[in-house]
Amino acid sequence: MKRVIKGKEPSALTAWKAENHDSPQNLVYGNMPGNVLEKIKDQMLKEQGYLCGYTMRRLNTVSECHLEHIEPQNASPRDLDYPNMLACFPSDGGDTKPGYGAPIKGGVAVNSGNFVSPTHPQVEQHFHYTRKGEITARNPLDVAAANTIKLLKLDDEKLADMRKAAIEAAGITRASDMPLSAAKARRLAQECLQKDANSRLPAFCLVLSRVAEEYASREEKQATRLRGKSRD
């Protein structure tokens, strides 16, 4: 998962809370007006680089995502806490048909011992990605990372295939139609983590960055071996 740095609570949410300050019974997520929800999701998409907070799939518009509570509403009083919210695939938060992501996690209670939140400062250090699109816990003893993968089904075959396709399209595997040079792969590893002028990141950006670095290292080692043989 790519780290999500949460910004200030959207002004629309702050204003709605203030309007209902004297009627606390109204301050529940289910009562939030649609226009407020849309503004929250719009800010989240910009924060997240227009990627799903859990899967890193592309989210082009607010209509393609739902508002996910990291600590679920049924297990936490944080239903209106902006730091507890993410924009996630799919548009319907109850749609489990894709087989992975936020709807699969559902209402499971999470904490730092069984889940690695995208908002955690070290979240990106917990996971390893391969050029085949696979995901594992970087440390085999990392229970929280392994459980996160399980809860969200981040190792789902369909999602892994999407990551693999993005890797091959980027040219950072020998299976690509036009493999990059090591130098270009190094540049890609940095560039794909930078938002463009429209606040967008490439889909599966962290996967691409990690795989690009490993690909560049392999290509550099291969070039060194070949130079050694030519001298011999």
**DSSP single-letter state for residue 51:** B
**DSSP single-letter state for residue 124:** G
**25-29, 48-52, 169-173: least confident range:** 25-29
pLDDT value at 26 more than 60: yes
**11-20, 68-77, 148-157: least confident range:** 68-77
The pLDDT > 70 percentage for the chain reads 98
Query: Residue 92: what pLDDT?
Result: 96
Cα 129 to Cα 168: distance, rounded to the nearest angstrom: 14
What are the residues whose beta carbons fall under 8 Å from the beta carbon of 205, sequence distance 6 or more? 2, 49, 51, 56, 192, 193
pLDDT tens digits for range 86-109: 999 999 999 999 999 999 999 999
- Residue for token pair 């930078």: 194
pLDDT value at 232 more than 60: no
The pLDDT > 90 percentage for the chain reads 91
| H-helix or E-strand spanning residue 128 | strand 127-129
What are the residues whose beta carbons fall under 8 Å from the beta carbon of 206, sequence distance 6 or more? 1, 2, 56, 124, 129, 193
The residue-averaged pLDDT of 166-179 equals 95
pLDDT value at 112 more than 80: yes
The residue-averaged pLDDT of 19-33 equals 93
- Residue for token pair 């209106």: 80
Q: Using 50, 70 and 90 to split pLDDT, how confident is the model at 230?
A: low
- Residue for token pair 């301050």: 27
The reported pTM is 0.94
Higher pLDDT, 2 or 76: 2
Do the Cβ atoms of 33 and 16 come closer than 8 Å? Answer: yes
69 φ, ψ to 5°?
A: -100, 120
Q: Using 50, 70 and 90 to split pLDDT, how confident is the model at 78?
A: confident
Cα 124 to Cα 118: distance, rounded to the nearest angstrom: 8
DSSP string, 20-49: TTT-GGG-SGGG--HHHHHHHHHHHHHHTT
Q: For the beta carbon of residue 166, count every other beta carbon within 10 angstroms.
A: 22
pLDDT value at 183 more than 80: yes
Which residues sit opposite 85 in a β-bridge? 69
N-to-C CA span, the chain: 45
